[in-house]
């Protein structure tokens, strides 16, 4: 079985993994790490997007359980528990703990646009239409909130390797794909 098909969601805790984490160069943020093949694939996706006239940067990659707890608490204080539960994983249940998930942001001249600030920007369509070519899926697609348990996040990519094309072409979530196996 593909070692990248780890299911981490609201009911499946992040298993202990032995992935090698490597630093990702990001103009947006220092100390972003991803699993080795995920990092290489993201770099290739960035180059592809750049050829389309846009620049994306890694905004968030690997997160320790402790860091995820900090993120969860900060968002809860800022936006409330209901919003937090829809968009932020509880510590121990975050895909970011695997090193296989990356949130990207858009660099537009000297400004960075993160999360919902990119809403309706063409770069989201470019990434959505091409991420599978680099082994990524949009992990939390629109209209699948009842399956993933999370709101639509077109900036949250999950590396799954070669099966990304199949998952994307059949409009599946990772949960749906794994259920069919």
Residues noted as catalytic: 153
Partnered with residue 56 across adjacent β-strands are 106
111 sits in which H/E element: strand 111-113
Q: Residue 136 burial (CB < 10 Å; 0-12/13-18/19+)?
A: buried
Q: Count H helices, E strands: the chain?
A: 7, 7
Long-range Cβ contacts of 165-168 (<8 Å, 24+ apart): 165/132, 165/133, 167/132, 167/137, 168/131, 168/132, 168/137
């Amino acid at each position: 079985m593909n070692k990248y098909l780890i299911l981490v969601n609201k009911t499946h805790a992040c298993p202990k993994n032995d992935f090698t984490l490597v630093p990702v160069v990001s103009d947006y943020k220092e100390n972003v790490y991803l699993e080795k093949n995920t990092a290489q694939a993201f770099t290739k996706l960035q180059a592809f997007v750049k050829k389309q006239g846009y620049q994306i940067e890694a905004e968030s990659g690997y997160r320790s359980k402790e860091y995820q707890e900090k993120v969860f608490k900060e968002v809860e204080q800022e936006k409330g528990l209901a919003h937090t539960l829809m968009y932020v994983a509880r510590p121990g249940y975050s895909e970011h703990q695997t090193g296989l998930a990356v949130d990207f942001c858009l660099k537009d001249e000297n400004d960075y646009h993160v999360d919902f600030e990119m809403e309706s920007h063409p770069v989201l369509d470019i990434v959505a239409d091409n991420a599978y070519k680099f082994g990524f899926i949009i992990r939390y697609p629109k209209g699948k909130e009842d399956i993933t348990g999370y709101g639509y996040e077109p900036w949250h990519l999950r590396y799954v390797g070669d099966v990304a094309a199949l998952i994307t072409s059949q409009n599946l979530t990772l949960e749906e794909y794994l259920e069919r196996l």
